[in-house]
Chains A and B, each alone.
Chain A
Amino acid sequence: MARFKRCFPGWPAALLPVLLALGLHAAEANTAGGRLARIAGSGALRVCVWPDYYGITWRDPKTQQLSGIDVDMAVELARSLGVAVRFVDSSFATLVDDVRADRCDIAMFAIAITRERAEKLRFASPHLQSDIHAITTKVNRRVRDWSDIDRPGVVVAVARGTYHEPVMRQRLTAATLKVVDTPHAREQEVESGRADVFMTDYPYSRRLLGSVDWARLVSPPGPYHVVPYAWAMAPGDDGFHARIERFVDAVRQDGRLVASARRHGLEAIVNVP
């Protein structure tokens, strides 16, 4: 367990400025027209969300109502812009397409800032951060804790398109990595016994443990791979981006972010000064 900490000290923090710089650079190249003006003109802010993201953007299957910290923030953002908010369903697999195809003005569902994404999208300053966590079944006797994961015969499932896929592919040495197409598929693989664990982040693990009775959380003993979460926009349009940045600063400063995180059980990962 201590091994991870020693191997990768401060890795995410050192990488972050580089990633941000790359992202900014790419965004500037794709700046097109005044998005703020268009939003004001339409009177609505279109926000991409992944409605299965518990605590972030979660649509209750019974009421079909969205809730979560980023839903709260989207509402706040729309209010600060003086427009209505309109949520657009998306996912990590379709994120880049959805944003770049202008199916929404901004994607607000705690998107991990990865190099791949940063090359194609422009991120606001991160307001959350999460490490990687594993989920197994309660009856699984092969994986008791984090050190049991990277062992021969152990099958580790990750969802295609998530940042876990590259990270785990890179980090696992003994275990078998099994990449499935959807986040749900990860769960089916583990539940049916075809895989022993699957990798996810803090908010998703919270959601799963609260909704199924077979799952068990296996957390890294120390920082394993902390990733900052932020909102993503289409590259370019500095004005819009700056406006979003001001908003991020504002909610981080005036306590709205922390209050909302507390409401949704995420105060452990909120990123405030």
Chain B
Amino acid sequence: MKAPLLRRHAATLGFAALMLVLAAVVAAATAYHLVHLRSVELQRLGDAAAHHARVFESHLSHSLNVVDLTLGNLADGDVPGSDPAARSAHLRLALRHAPYLRSLSILDPDGRVVASSEPANLGLQPALGRLQPETAPEAVLLRFGRPWEGRDMAGGRATTPDTPVGSGTPNFVPVVRALDARRRVVAALNPDYFIGQMANALPIGGGGAAEVLSLDGVVWLSSDESARAPAAGTRMRVPGLDLGAPGQAAEGLLEWARSGERVELVAFRLSRVYPLAVQVRMDRAVAQQAWQRQARGLLGAVVLLFLIALGIAVAVFRHVRRLEREWQDAEMRARDRLAGVVFESSAEAILVTDGQNRVLRVNPAYTRLTGYTEDEVRGRNPRLSASGRHDEAFYAAMWRDILTRGLWKGELTNRRKDGSLYPVSLTVSVVRDERGQVVNHVGLFVDISERVAREDHIRYLSEHDVLTGLPNRALFADRVRQAIMQGRRSQRFAAVLFIDLDRFKAVNDVYGHPVGDQLLQETARRLQAALRESDTVGRQGGDEFLVLLPDLAERGDAERVLDKLMTALCEPYRLGALELHVTPSIGASVFPDDGEDFETLVRAADTAMYHSKSNGRGASHFFSAEMSQAADERLTLEAALRHALDRHELRLHYQPLVDLADGRVTGFEALLRWREPARGEVPPATFIPVAEDSGMIVPIGAWVLREACRQLRQWRDDGLHGLSVAVNVSARQLAQANFEAMVFAALAEHGLEGNALELEVTESVLLADQDHRVEQLRRLRDAGVRLSIDDFGTGYSSLSYLRRLPIDRIKIDRSFIREVTDNTGDALIVGALIDMAHGIGLRVLGEGVETDGQHGFLRDHGCDAVQGYLFARPMPADEVAPWLGARQTARALPAETLAAQMPAAD
């Protein structure tokens, strides 16, 4: 609105300026014309004065010419010396048609009136004074005296400039002409006649006056009737005009500033015959007035015409403006329609309020979104939608922004008419009028529930484990930190538990990931079920879980929870048809005793968990400083193990396998030994788990296989025949896709046949029904490689299950053998095992035989083979040949004494 308003003002101003310019042009033209008119009027007045002067002079001269003739004619009719009455009658006759003459008188040489048309003049001797022009008295021409006061010479007097004719008094000018040497005639010239002539000719009230003067400036007569009229007989001199000056122009025009205001144009004309002049004076104000009249008329006409033109122009301008406005209105309406459509069809809810924030309008989207119709909210404050989720400070900040910046953008929660809450993205803008007063608020908002839900989900995903739905390490860390802060405030304890499922890797390896995943989900479920609402279970990764127990009054609380968890997790897992027995290893750390931050607490719990694991699994421990050392030890061990292969620190010892039937040594089991330079001999029970956990078991296992094959080749080359070698294979190795190829390569390298090698695996390796593994083993067995189950009895598999596997032999775990002579239960088990194994075509080896009793029991119960200290400890490869030689020699001696003489292997 502002810009068009300005533009409209600009158009009006422009039009006004154009009109002003036009007015100025008209005014200038008019002024020029008026100035011109004024000079024309002055010129005309001057012309009129000059014209009158010429006419008056002409008439006067003509009249005097007639007077000259009349006086001349008197000479014949007048008879000197005759009766004066007769002579006077003759003179009166001559006056009959001469109104310019008042009387005629004849003077004798003495200057005495001897005859007169006026009887009263008879006998007078008038003092005519000096006559003009000066010449001899008898010269036959008209000569003029000074004006006289009085109707005639009788009762009259000659004037002087100092004693002129009194106002309103009759007067005359004496004119003298010689008739002959003795007679002169005097005519009294009637000034009124000429005044009347001139007054009639001059415009009435025109401010003009005429005078007849003698050349010395004496006024004979004046038509002036004003107060400044010159009396007859006075001397009148217009500045700059000397009528009697030699070489004076016959006529002319000049200006006479008589007083401050009155300026007269004076035209004069000298008679060519008589010593007199006529001057005509015109008041310049007359020209001024005439000019003013014309100017008024002209100005009136110009102003009228200009006003008419202005009126037409204004009308046209306003018409154009109206058209323009109509066009703008139409455009505005179109825009309004468009705005209306946008308003009505917008997907955004729109809310318009007035300056007091009362609702004026809402659009359909608003109604859809809030449930309120326009009628329900009109006049109300928009805070009716407030959810109560935001505090006063939030709204205060919002209004501060609206009022200072004119705009607020943000997200907040609103309440629908039905009471439900929903998040919106809201934009509030302000509409101000020209004075800056707020007239409207416009609020636009959209429902962002979906977006918020999506964002929440993403956040959930970023904070939770997908498989179990448990908080992940990051979220768990937040919870721990909160608990720490809370604990600091409340001076209470918190505990972090690190839970690892024992042998989970084996489960995954044996049964596959789907089963492993189910196991993890079930574990999560059990953990959550066993814990308080305020506790947090998180998944650290793999088979590791973290548990936060906040707000504990004492350490004992944590212990009780630990026990409860242990119980819950040790329950068998039924996963479909499968029943798994899995134990957890749990480590716990306590805030603030074991650490005051997340990292430290988790590391402590982890350490405690390892402690549990290394102490036989299925246990739980609280963290202690010693554990920390053990954990450190384990780490250094792992680091050292990484270099063991390269530094040739590993070597194999061999323990003989003895056939029970004939006491013959059938082969040797290769057992791994590690002599670490700093520690000396490291027990296999210590470093094998480290190798297993770190994955180093794979390259180490491969080395063991090749070394065992090489050694067998060596022995054969040395002449020791009829021996095989048994190598332990871990689950990880079997999981290697190239395991089969590696075995064949090792055999081929040293020119060995398949039956020279026996692979020992633990029960769990074969538990899973993993066809490709079984197939791999079957192909190996087809090639002659024998397979045996190591440590049989510690697992949970059944013999019937083993039937489906390509197994040749089981090795009964030493824990059964150890008690076989003292524990009838074990004896029964071992016996049954031997029988059952034989029942399904498997051979049986007893491990860890140390006594003759054990030896006897196994022999009596039909066990096929044994190994153990009773025969030989594991020995270095170079001791095998001597040991075999010694045994050959002792074969004749009783077995018992022979065994007793055997030196310890290590």
State whether these chains interact. yes
Interface centre among B96, B118, B192, B193 (most CB of A within 10 A): B192
B196–A192 touching, CB < 8 Å? no
Check: A213 CB closer than 8 A to any chain B CB.
yes
Q: Does B151 contact A (CB under 8 A)?
A: yes
Partner of B168, one of A141, A155, A192, A194: A141
> Which of A87-95, A132-140, A265-273 contacts its partner?
A132-140
- A191 contacts B by Cβ under 8 Å: yes
Q: Does A263 contact B (CB under 8 A)?
A: no
CA gap between A38 and B225 in the complex, in Å: 62
Chain A residues near B100 (CB, 8 Å)? Answer: 192
| B170 within 8 A of partner (CB) | yes
List residues of chain A with CB within 8 A of the CB of B99. 188, 191-192, 214
In the complex, are the beta carbons of A138 and B95 less than 8 A apart?
no
B183-200 vs A, CB cutoff 8 Å, 1 = contact: the mask equals 000000011110110011
Cross-chain contact of A192 among B98, B195, B199, B225 (Cβ < 8 A): B98
Q: How far is the CB of B869 from chain A (nearest CB, A)?
A: 186
Given A192-B99, A192-B101, A194-B151: A142 touches B170 (CB 8 Å cut-off): yes
**0 or 1 for each of A157-195: is its CB under 8 Å from B? (1 = yes):** 000000000000000000000000000000010011110
Q: Is the CB of B193 within 8 A of A142?
A: no
* Chain A residues within 8 Å of chain B by Cβ, number: 14
Q: A213 — which chain B residues lie within 8 A by C-beta? A: 196, 200
Cβ–Cβ contact B192 & A188, under 8 A: no
Beyond A139-B192, A139-B196, whether A188 also contacts B151 by CB under 8 A is no
Question: In this assembly, does B103 line the interface, its C-beta being within 8 Å of a C-beta of chain A?
Answer: yes
With A137-B196, A142-B168 given, is the CB distance from A193 to B96 under 8 Å? no
> Which residues of chain A (13-29) have a CB below 8 Å from chain B?
none
Taking the nearest CB of chain A, how far is it from the CB of B420, in angstroms? 114
Q: How far is the CA of A155 from the CA of B102 in the complex (A)?
A: 13
Cβ of A138: which chain B residues have Cβ within 8 Å of it?
196, 199-200
Question: How many angstroms between the C-alpha atoms of A192 and B196 in the bound complex?
Answer: 11
Complex: A144 Cα to B190 Cα, angstroms: 19
- In chain B, positions 32-46 with a C-beta closer than 8 Å to chain A are none
Are the C-beta atoms of A192 and B190 separated by less than 8 Å?
yes
Within 8 A of B (CB), among A120-152: 137-142
Which residues of chain A are within 8 angstroms of B190 by Cβ–Cβ distance?
192-193
Tell me if B193 and A194 are in contact (CB < 8 A).
Answer: no
- Shortest CB distance B222–A (Å): 11
> Which residue of chain B is the closest to A213 with respect to CB atoms?
B200
Query: In the complex the two chains form, is B102's CB within 8 Å of A193's CB?
Result: yes
A193 adjacent to B95 (CB under 8 Å)? no
Which of A141, A192, A193 has most B Cβ within 10 Å?
A193
Bound: A198/B200 CA distance, A: 21
| A140 to B170 alpha-carbon distance, docked (Å) | 9
Contact B95–A192 (Cβ < 8 Å): yes
- Any A CB within 8 A of the CB of B674: no
Q: B172 and A214: CB pair below 8 A? A: no
CA distance A140 to B101 in the complex (A): 16
**B193 and A192: CB pair below 8 A?**
yes
Interface majority SS (helix, strand, loop, mixed), chain A: loop
Q: How far is the CB of A257 from chain B (nearest CB, A)?
A: 37
Q: What separation, in Å, do the CA atoms of A106 and B168 have in the docked complex? A: 47
Cβ–Cβ < 8 Å partners of A139 in chain B: 192, 195-196, 199, 223
Q: How far is the CA of A213 from the CA of B201 in the complex (A)?
A: 10
Most buried by A among B170, B223, B225: B170
Given the contacts A137-B192, A142-B168, A192 and B200 also touching, CB distance less than 8 Å: no
Contact of B196 with A214 in the complex, beta carbons under 8 Å: yes
Q: Are A193 and B199 within 8 A (Cβ)?
A: no
A194-B170 Cα distance, complex, nearest whole Å: 9
Q: Are B168 and A193 in contact (CB under 8 A)?
A: no
Residues of B within 8 Å of A188, CB to CB, are: 95-97, 99
Identify which of A137, A141, A142, A194 contacts B118 (C-beta below 8 A): A194
B192:A194 contact, CB within 8 angstroms: no
Q: How far is the CB of B394 from chain A (nearest CB, A)?
A: 109
How far apart are the CA atoms of A257 and B522 in the complex, in Å? 156
* Chain B residues with CB under 8 A of A194: 102-103, 118, 151-152
| CA gap between A193 and B100 in the complex, in Å | 9
Q: How far is the CB of A139 from chain B (nearest CB, A)?
A: 4
Cα distance, A139 to B151, chains bound together (Å): 14
Residues of A within 8 A of B170 (CB): 142, 193
Contacting residues, chain A, for B151 (C-beta < 8 A): 155, 193-194
A residues in contact with B192, CB < 8 Å: 137, 139-140, 193
User: In the assembled complex, which residues on chain B have CB atoms less than 8 Å from the CB atom of A137?
Assistant: 192, 196
Q: Would you list which residues of chain B between 106 and 156 have a CB under 8 Å from chain A? A: 118, 151-152
A193 CB to closest chain B CB (Å) equals 4
What is the distance, in angstroms, from A117's C-beta to the closest C-beta of chain B?
A: 28
| Chain A residue with Cβ nearest B95 | A192
Considering the chains assembled together, what is the distance between the CA atoms of A141 and B165 in angstroms?
Answer: 13
CB of B803, distance to nearest CB on chain A (Å) = 174
Binary contact track A192-212/B, C-beta < 8 Å → 1, others 0: 111000000000000000000
User: What chain B residues lie within 8 Å of A193 (beta carbons)?
Assistant: 102, 151, 170, 172, 190-193
Given the complex of chains A and B, what is the CA–CA distance between A63 and B365 in angstroms? 113
Chain B minimum-CB-distance residue to A142: B168
Distance between Cα atoms of A194 and B100 in the complex (Å): 11
Contact with A along B840-873 (1 / 0, CB 8 A): 0000000000000000000000000000000000
Smallest Cβ-Cβ distance to B155: which chain A residue: A153
A191 touching B118 by the CB < 8 A rule? no
What residues of chain B lie closer than 8 Å to A140, measured between beta carbons?
Answer: 192
Which A-chain residue is minimally distant from B223 (CB atoms)? A139
CA distance A37 to B96 in the complex (A): 46
How close is B94's CB to chain A, nearest CB, in angstroms?
12
The answer to whether A214 and B96 touch across the interface, beta carbons within 8 angstroms, is no
- Give the nearest-CB partner of B170 in chain A: A193
**CB-based contact B95/A214 at 8 Å:** no
Contacts of A192 in B (CB 8 A): 95, 98-102, 190, 193
C-alpha gap A44/B103 in the complex (Å) = 48
Please give me the residue from chain B that is nearest to A143 by CB atom: B168
> For B96, B99, B101, which residue has the most chain A Cβ atoms within 10 angstroms?
B99
Compute how far the CA of A155 lies from the CA of B103 in the bound complex, rounded to whole angstroms: 15
| CA gap between A11 and B134 in the complex, in Å | 61
Docked Cα-Cα span, A40 to B565, in Å, equals 183
Give A138's nearest chain B residue, CB to CB.
Answer: B196
Q: With the chains together, A56 CA to B122 CA distance in Å? A: 42
**B222-240 interface (Cβ within 8 A of A):** 223, 225
A192→B97 CA distance, assembly (Å)? 10
Give min CB distance, A153 to chain B, whole Å: 8
User: Inside 8 A of B98's CB, which chain A residues have their CB?
Assistant: 192
> How far is the CB of B208 from the nearest CB of chain A, in Å?
15
Inter-chain contacts of B101 with A (CB < 8 A) = 192
Instruction: Return A15 CB to nearest CB of chain B, in Å.
Output: 36
Assembled-state Cα–Cα distance A141/B224 (Å) = 12
CB neighbours of B102 from chain A (8 A) = 192-194
A196 (CB) vs chain B CBs: closest residue: B170
A140 to B151, CA, bound (A): 12
The minimal Cβ–Cβ distance linking A107 to chain B, given in whole angstroms, is: 28
Report how far A141 CA is from B168 CA in the complex, Å.
Answer: 5
Alpha-carbon distance between A138 and B193 when the two chains are bound, in angstroms: 10
Closest chain B residue, CB of each to CB of A144: B168
Task: Give Cα A188–Cα B99 distance, bound, in whole angstroms.
Answer: 6
What's the nearest-Cβ distance from chain B to residue A173, in Å?
20
Residue of B with least CB distance to A214: B196
- Nearest B residue to A190 via CB reads B99
7 more A-B contacts (CB under 8 A) besides A192-B99, A193-B151, A194-B151? A137-B196, A139-B195, A141-B167, A155-B151, A192-B101, A193-B172, A193-B190
Residue numbers of A with Cβ under 8 A of B are: 137-142, 155, 188, 191-194, 213-214
Binding site for A on B (CB under 8 A): 95-103, 118, 151-152, 167-168, 170, 172, 190-193, 195-196, 199-200, 223, 225
6 contacting pairs across A/B (C-beta < 8 A)? A138-B199, A138-B200, A139-B199, A141-B167, A193-B170, A193-B191
Q: Lowest 8 A-B CB distances belong to which pairs?
A: A191-B99, A139-B195, A141-B168, A193-B190, A214-B196, A192-B99, A139-B196, A139-B192
